[in-house]
Structure 1
Amino acid sequence: MAVTVTERPRSRAVLRNYGASASKVREVLGIIRGKPVEQAIRELSLVSRGPAEAVGKLLASAVANATVQHGLGVSDMVVRLAYADEGTTLKRFRPRARGRATRIRKRTCHITVVVEEMTLEERQRAVAQTGRRAVSRQRRVQSSRRGRQQAQATSAEATSAEVATSQPEITSEAAASEQTVEVTAAEEQVAALVATGEETGAETPSAASEEAAEGGEE
């Protein structure tokens, strides 16, 4: 009995004679292989290796081919295959000591990326992963907000404590200044009375009390 296998729509893009060794490119391809296209694009944007830019452009080309040929969206595709084969190796020479020369091998490779429509299980897995990522992000945001609120509350308490500590000092300074003003006013009144007594020729209260005390002693 013949078994019919339904192939899912897929598209590919090939980059030939890329100027890097296949081993270096395979390290980048291993990051995106078997992952949804959206996730692969996000992860490639965070990779700092040299071949990451070329692999990203090749993946975008494969996605564009699938969109034109099969009408698939970015969220409907998965990176089914991603591999690099050895290309042409260019032989060059580098001069060394004593007139010798050392061979340089400039390696190249052929990169292939194949994208395919997701299966039902892969769609469910991608949706669940997206939900977990959203929940995790929401938790991080809430934790950050709580931290900021606690920091603001702590700073407000410290400010209020400083104000409460400095309030008695301000009160004591105000009381001392009021007492100084009262003493100054009393001295001014006494000086005014003395000046008035000298002008009229009358004895001041202090002089009269001194004379009365002397008369009592006699």
Structure 2
Amino acid sequence: MNLKNNLDNKVIFSVKNVPMSASKLRRVLHQIRGHSYDEVLMLLEFMPYRTCHRVLTWISYAAQKAKYEMDWRYTDLFLNEFKVDTGSSRKRLRIRAQGRSYTIHKPTSHITIILKNLCIRGNSKKKNNTTLM
């Protein structure tokens, strides 16, 4: 797991070689993109997919790191974007009858989750609106 802090108010969290298919992860992450951190927690808790539990732990870990290192509040976090790439596939052998064997391909994925802070973005707009009035 890797966490990077950028100067433009976002936290980049990446996980490599996750033992899941990229399409299964994209199915969950497409539904939660663009929501606040509190909404993401509620959505992931009630979705019927197995991958939701792992995605929930990664997002909560990224939020904890953002709070600890950047001193952001959980209520101001926003799931801005994500990226799911296919990794290498692990190959296993299935032993069959008469000395034959078939390969089983177990896919892996690389995930990058980007969290932004809504409070900082919102305060800059409020300052511009108050100066115009």
Q: Which residue of 2 aligns with 1:53?
A: 53
Q: Using the alignment, how far apart are the partners of 2:69 and 2:100 within structure 1?
A: 56
Q: Which amino acid aligns with 1:80?
A: N
Q: Which amino acid aligns with 1:22?
A: A
Pick 1 or 2: higher relative contact order, CA cutoff 8 A, min separation 6.
Answer: 2
Q: Which residue of 2 aligns with 1:25?
A: 25
Q: Which amino acid aligns with 1:28?
A: V
Q: Using the alignment, how far apart are the partners of 1:81 and 1:61 within structure 2?
A: 16
Q: Using the alignment, how far apart are the partners of 2:29 and 2:69 within structure 1?
A: 24
TM-score by length of 2: 0.77
Q: Displacement of 1:70 after TM fit?
A: 2.0
Q: Using the alignment, how far apart are the partners of 2:18 and 2:102 within structure 1?
A: 24
Deviation string for 1:23-65 (max 9, x for gaps)? 1111111121111111011100111211111111110111112
Q: Using the alignment, how far apart are the partners of 1:49 and 1:112 within structure 2?
A: 20
Larger helix percent = 1
Classify the secondary structure of the residue corresponding to 2:26.
Answer: helix
Bigger Rg over Cα: 1
1:196-211 to 2 correspondence within 5 Å? Answer: none
- The percentage of aligned residue pairs carrying the same residue is 27
RMSD: 1.9
1:89 matched to 2:97: no
Q: Which residue of 2 aligns with 1:107?
A: 107
- For structure 2, list consecutive stretches of 5 or more residues without a partner in the other structure: 1-6, 123-133
| Residues matched between the structures, number | 115
Q: Which residue of 2 aligns with 1:16?
A: 16
Q: Which residue of 2 aligns with 1:40?
A: 40
Q: Using the alignment, how far apart are the partners of 1:104 and 1:71 within structure 2?
A: 45
Q: Which residue of 2 aligns with 1:126?
A: none
Q: Using the alignment, how far apart are the partners of 2:111 and 2:47 within structure 1?
A: 17
Deviation string for 1:113-147 (max 9, x for gaps)? 11001243xxxxxxxxxxxxxxxxxxxxxxxxxxx
Greater shift, 93-102 or 76-85, is seen at 93-102
Q: Using the alignment, how far apart are the partners of 1:81 and 1:65 within structure 2?
A: 17
Q: Displacement of 1:97 after TM fit?
A: 4.2
Classify the secondary structure of the residue corresponding to 1:45.
Answer: helix
- For structure 1, list consecutive stretches of 5 or more residues without a partner in the other structure: 1-6, 121-218
Q: Using the alignment, how far apart are the partners of 1:78 and 1:113 within structure 2?
A: 11
Q: Which amino acid aligns with 2:70?
A: H
Q: Displacement of 1:102 after TM fit?
A: 1.6
Q: Which residue of 2 aligns with 1:66?
A: 66
Deviation string for 1:153-200 (max 9, x for gaps)? xxxxxxxxxxxxxxxxxxxxxxxxxxxxxxxxxxxxxxxxxxxxxxxx
Larger strand percent = 2
Q: Which residue of 2 aligns with 1:161?
A: none
